Amino acid sequence: MTIQKIKRLFYNELSELYPQKEIRSFLNLLSEHKLNKTRIDLALQPQLPLTQNQTSYYLDALERLKKQEPIQYIIGSTEFYGLPFKVNSQVLIPRPETEELVNWIINDCKNTPKVNILDIGTGSGCIAITLAKHLPNAKISAIDVSDKALKIAKENAVLNNVPISFKQLDILTTSQLPNQFDIIVSNPPYVKNAEKQQIQQNVLDFEPAIALFVKNENPLLFYDKISELAKLHLTKKGRLYFEINQYLGNEMVQLLKSKKFQHVTLKKDFYNVDRMVKAILD
């Protein structure tokens, strides 16, 4: 089979599920991953013959795309803040909004000679690893409840050649953190079960629910617990950063103020919704 036939098959089979631009993107990503060929290479070589193994790869990907499995899980990788990350169904696919949170921390710390940072609920490790890459004077630790997520995070730390101290820990049941920190950052589960109807089906079907959803009656469960631990384990003038539910910005500000944090700053993302918050322990 040729690459041209594969392209035609993808457009015919997927056109009712995805816009043409997205199908083209799928083909480009799959071809870069499997053939090491760019979009331009493929355009110049429409009759490029595929081996049986390569053909099977495309056909398997096609069937998975029909079930709306995210392309990042199919190719097993994605990019975050310009860095490569392995991903599978044990970890959330890193989002552009989280890049903004990371960028906020990097900008706040770029002139700091030494800083000790903890990432709570690290998942793929995207926050911790990106901070380590851009803040060479930082000492980074990361925790997660899932040993399978930590396996991926450890692989990503090796892939990006950064030292991270990883530990498996259930933040909801622990009474203490492994050290004192200048910065604690977390992107914990924050989507209420009642908001599931707003979530795309491919996210609901394939991404880990444990990293996404919280009960309707206590949507700030993780923030409340992490804030309490932060009061005990942040250094003086230490900073707490969260990615948050866009509908709960005011509630987050009130929660942090009630815990006696100072200078609470609510920040919008590029969609112009409340997405992150910073607070300082006085």
118 lies in the same domain as 20? no
Domain count, the chain: 2
50 lies in the same domain as 134? no
The pLDDT of residue 231: 95
Per-residue pLDDT of the chain (282 residues; tens, 9 = 90+): 899 999 999 999 999 999 999 999 999 999 999 989 888 877 888 788 899 999 999 999 999 999 999 999 999 999 999 999 999 999 999 999 999 999 999 999 988 889 999 999 999 999 999 999 999 999 999 999 999 999 999 999 999 999 999 999 999 999 999 899 999 999 999 888 888 888 888 888 898 988 899 988 889 999 999 999 999 999 999 999 999 999 999 999 999 999 999 999 999 999 999 999 999 998
Domain assignment present for 20: yes
Sign of the C-alpha dihedral, residues 52, 55, 59, 60?
positive
63 lies in the same domain as 101? no
Range of the domain at 226: 92-281
57 lies in the same domain as 127? no
Q: Is 226 helix (H, G, I), strand (E, B) or coil?
A: helix
133 lies in the same domain as 200? yes
231 lies in the same domain as 267? yes
Output the CA angle 66-68-74, nearest 5 degrees.
90
Q: DSSP states of 69-120 as a string?
A: --HHHHHTEEEETTEEEE--TTSPPP-HHHHHHHHHHHHHHTT-S-EEEEEE
269 lies in the same domain as 131? yes
Residue where a domain terminates, one of 67, 82, 103: 67
Distance separating alpha carbons of residues 189 and 147, to the nearest angstrom: 17
Encode pLDDT of 231-275 as tens digits: 999 999 999 999 999 999 999 999 999 999 999 999 999 999 999
CB contact at 8 A, 99 and 80: yes
34 lies in the same domain as 174? no
